[in-house]
Chains A and B, each alone.
Chain A
Amino acid sequence: MWAMVAKEFRQLRRDRRTLVMMLVLPVLLLVVFGYAANFEVHDISTVVVGPDAGTMASSLHAPLHVVSVDPSRSESFATSELRHGTAVVGVVTGPGGALVLMDGSQLFSVQTAEAALAKLAPSAGAGGHAMQVRILFNPSLKTSWVMVPGLAGLILVFIGTMITSLGVVRERQAGTLEQLAVMPLRAFQVIAGKIALYLAVAACDLTLVVLVGMGLFGVPFVGNVGTFLLGAALFLLVTLGMGVLVSTLSQNQGQAIQLAFLLILPQVLLSGLIFPVSSMAVGVRWISYILPLTYFIDISRGVMLKGAPIGSLLEPIVLLAVLAVVVLGLAIVRFRRDLAPSPAKGHSDQRVAA
């Protein structure tokens, strides 16, 4: 038995990536996720409109954060702001009291806002503002309605990153990568050829997940299908690009799975799928800003639940496009190194003879 133990120790000592994962990762994950795992919302963006908007705005306190006060605007403006994601709460003042609109796609924010308004109600009422609350986009505050659009993205992250990550590694391990390198194929052609199939499969998966989500859980799809498809296509390109990038950084399938896991786990916990991004510690929040799932969740919830127009989703769409360019660019650069080595220092000459 001791011979076996000694052998395992020696092998592990040389497998530095696994060693780092085993020793450093638990602590790192504990710290990062400890700061991310927070359901408390401390900042709820709020717009206040109607004739008494000024008075009402001055009576609202944290966690309600008034971002806009406009006495000349009405309920439609507040609804639009919620649909565009500019605010989570809209207070519409009027002669008969105040109508409070809330974005039901932000479950934890709505719960916190309701609690905050319950405390404020007596003083607000004293100011002549009887309050009526109306939840938009997810009136029953169903968790499934919020989770399904995000889970669709998470499933695609698993398929895209994990399965694609094994693609190049398989070629490397089988020894066929050398053959590809000698063939008249460019790096982007090989990558495009590799991800085309996964792109098609993942697109089918996405359609299936969304349809099953709508059928089983009654999740609505009120927005524009084209906007959703554009966001999904960009998101898929990023996740598949991440898979290819992982496979260019790995020598074997075990390493590829380890690295893919490292990219998938933060997306489960830091993308806003479970914990609100706004509740995360600032340092951890920045990690969520570089995760593609964060932006896909904005798009999928925005389109499916709120019917958000493409104009209000430009930011996540553009950021996903930037991520796609960066990730696929890196993957191509890395892969090109595998296919065609850069010139060595020295005085070599390579002539293509007729």
Chain B
Amino acid sequence: MTFGLDAVTVRYGRQTALDAVSLAVEPGRVSAVVGGDGAGKSTALAALVGLINPADGLVRRPAKTEIGYVPATAGHYGDLTVEENLLFTAQAFRMAPGERDARMNMLLEQTGLQGARRRLGGQLSGGMQRKLAVAMALVHNPKLLVLDEPTTGVDPLSRVDLWRLISQAAAGGVAVAVATTYVNEAARATTIALLSSGRALAAGSPDAILTSIPGTLGATTGRSRPTDRSWRRGAMWRVWVPNETLPDGVEGVSADFEDAVVVAELAAAEVSR
């Protein structure tokens, strides 16, 4: 069964936070919601888990007992130990003691938190805290795992560990939805919804998004910004034009996923001009 959002609209008063956004979250796959601050990523995930009721559209999700959720904030109790945090979640989901203990031990091993099982959540490093939050969301074997920016502010090594956990969960058949601001992380997902100001700029697989980018992309060097539709990539400038004619001195290049995300934003701005 595929979970997800079909043309979901969320309004806060007169403000539209999410405008007819769709996202398919399939078992065994990772779906990513990508966008900058205020794009509507958290709102989309909150609608998916039932924290927000949409004004329009269809939300498909499993029963509460089969959802694991990591909010953008801490996601654990700082004044409980690692073990106590996991135990609380397992008990809240009414897991049988035998199954609970086995699952907790397995997750502690997977997250590398065995040695910290008696440390308070608040005393862990940022990366360990997020691993604990993910472990808490996974302890009851959910069918749908929803993670709101699990790697934001986390060191690169911990990010790798966190993505390993997420991939393991998906490999085990869990449908995973993850919000992220990191484009390189989103490229690991099977399906992506690229959001900006509550609207979906692009959706589909990373390859489909890459092939669907409009206009032409080029690269050039130089100290000053070549056009108002250009951005830095390392020592080079990327230049995008909505047609096929690149400015003089700009060589055509193939877009990667990071380019595709920027182009989608520029193309949307072009349309709204």
A residues near B (Cβ < 8 Å) are 174-176, 178-185, 340-354
Complex alpha-carbon distance, A178 and B74, angstroms = 10
Question: Which of A174, A182, A183, A347 has the most chain B CB within a 10 Å cutoff?
Answer: A182
Q: Is the CB of B56 within 8 A of A353?
A: no
**6 shortest A-B CB distances, which residue pairs?**
A175-B73, A346-B55, A182-B69, A348-B54, A178-B71, A344-B53
From 33 to 60 in chain B, residues with beta carbon under 8 angstroms from any chain A beta carbon are 46, 49-60
Known: A175-B74, A185-B92. A342 touches B58 (CB 8 A): no
In the assembled complex, the CB of A301 is this many whole angstroms from the nearest CB of chain B, namely 39
Q: Find chain A residues with CB under 8 A from B54 CB.
A: 344, 346, 348, 350
| Apart from the given pairs A180-B92, A346-B56, 10 other A-B contacts in the complex at a CB distance below 8 Å | A175-B71, A175-B75, A176-B77, A184-B92, A346-B9, A348-B53, A348-B59, A351-B60, A351-B61, A354-B1
Q: Find chain B residues with CB under 8 A from A185 CB.
A: 92
Complex alpha-carbon distance, A169 and B72, angstroms = 17
Q: Find chain B residues with CB under 8 A from A349 CB.
A: 57-59
Q: Find chain B residues with CB under 8 A from A351 CB.
A: 58-61
Complex alpha-carbon distance, A353 and B77, angstroms = 30
In the assembled complex, the CB of B90 is this many whole angstroms from the nearest CB of chain A, namely 11
Q: Is the CB of B64 within 8 A of A182?
A: yes
7 pairs across A/B with beta carbons < 8 Å? A176-B73, A182-B50, A184-B63, A347-B55, A348-B9, A348-B57, A353-B60
> Within the complex, which residue of A174, A340, A341, A342 is in contact with B77, where a contact is CB–CB below 8 Å?
A174
Closest A residue by C-beta to B2: A353
Q: Is the CB of B78 within 8 A of A174?
A: yes
Complex alpha-carbon distance, A54 and B94, angstroms = 72
In the assembled complex, the CB of B135 is this many whole angstroms from the nearest CB of chain A, namely 13
Q: Is the CB of B93 within 8 A of A343?
A: no
Known: A183-B89, A353-B60. A348 touches B69 (CB 8 A): no
In the complex, B186 has a CB within 8 A of chain A: no
B residues near A (Cβ < 8 Å) are 1-3, 8-11, 46, 49-65, 67, 69-78, 89, 92-94, 136
Q: Is the CB of A183 within 8 A of B72?
A: no
In the assembled complex, the CB of A170 is this many whole angstroms from the nearest CB of chain B, namely 9
Q: Find chain B residues with CB under 8 A from A345 CB.
A: 55
In the assembled complex, the CB of A248 is this many whole angstroms from the nearest CB of chain B, namely 16
Q: Is the CB of B61 within 8 A of A353?
A: yes
Q: Is the CB of B56 within 8 A of A350?
A: no
Complex alpha-carbon distance, A348 and B136, angstroms = 30
Q: Is the CB of B61 within 8 A of A350?
A: yes
Q: Is the CB of A182 within 8 A of B67?
A: yes
Q: Is the CB of B51 within 8 A of A176?
A: no
Q: Is the CB of A179 within 8 A of B72?
A: no
> Within the complex, which residue of B11, B60, B93 is in contact with A183, where a contact is CB–CB below 8 Å?
B93
Q: Is the CB of A179 within 8 A of B59?
A: no
Complex alpha-carbon distance, A185 and B65, angstroms = 9
Complex alpha-carbon distance, A344 and B77, angstroms = 31
Known: A183-B89, A352-B62. A344 touches B11 (CB 8 A): yes
In the assembled complex, the CB of B100 is this many whole angstroms from the nearest CB of chain A, namely 15
Q: Find chain B residues with CB under 8 A from A344 CB.
A: 10-11, 53-55
Q: Find chain B residues with CB under 8 A from A175 CB.
A: 71-75
Q: Is the CB of A181 within 8 A of B51?
A: yes
Known: A344-B53, A348-B56. A353 touches B74 (CB 8 A): no
Q: Find chain A residues with CB under 8 A from B65 CB.
A: 184
Complex alpha-carbon distance, A23 and B127, angstroms = 45
Question: Which of B11, B54, B62 has the most chain A CB within a 10 Å cutoff?
Answer: B54
Q: Is the CB of A183 within 8 A of B92?
A: yes
Q: Is the CB of A182 within 8 A of B59?
A: no
Complex alpha-carbon distance, A347 and B6, angstroms = 12
Complex alpha-carbon distance, A346 and B47, angstroms = 14
Complex alpha-carbon distance, A264 and B93, angstroms = 37
Q: Is the CB of B75 within 8 A of A341?
A: no
Q: Is the CB of B73 within 8 A of A184?
A: no
Q: Find chain A residues with CB under 8 A from B64 CB.
A: 182-184
Complex alpha-carbon distance, A346 and B55, angstroms = 5
Q: Find chain A residues with CB under 8 A from B52 CB.
A: 341
In the assembled complex, the CB of B20 is this many whole angstroms from the nearest CB of chain A, namely 12
Q: Is the CB of A348 within 8 A of B8?
A: yes
Q: Is the CB of A350 within 8 A of B59?
A: yes
Q: Find chain B residues with CB under 8 A from A184 CB.
A: 63-65, 92-94
Q: Is the CB of B63 within 8 A of A343?
A: no
In the assembled complex, the CB of B45 is this many whole angstroms from the nearest CB of chain A, namely 10
Complex alpha-carbon distance, A350 and B78, angstroms = 33
Complex alpha-carbon distance, A176 and B70, angstroms = 9
Q: Find chain A residues with CB under 8 A from B51 CB.
A: 178, 181-182, 341
Complex alpha-carbon distance, A90 and B89, angstroms = 62
Q: Is the CB of B50 within 8 A of A174?
A: no
In the assembled complex, the CB of A70 is this many whole angstroms from the nearest CB of chain B, namely 63
Complex alpha-carbon distance, A180 and B51, angstroms = 10
Known: A184-B92, A352-B63. A178 touches B73 (CB 8 A): yes
Complex alpha-carbon distance, A350 and B64, angstroms = 13
Closest A residue by C-beta to B56: A346
In the assembled complex, the CB of B252 is this many whole angstroms from the nearest CB of chain A, namely 45
In the assembled complex, the CB of B95 is this many whole angstroms from the nearest CB of chain A, namely 11
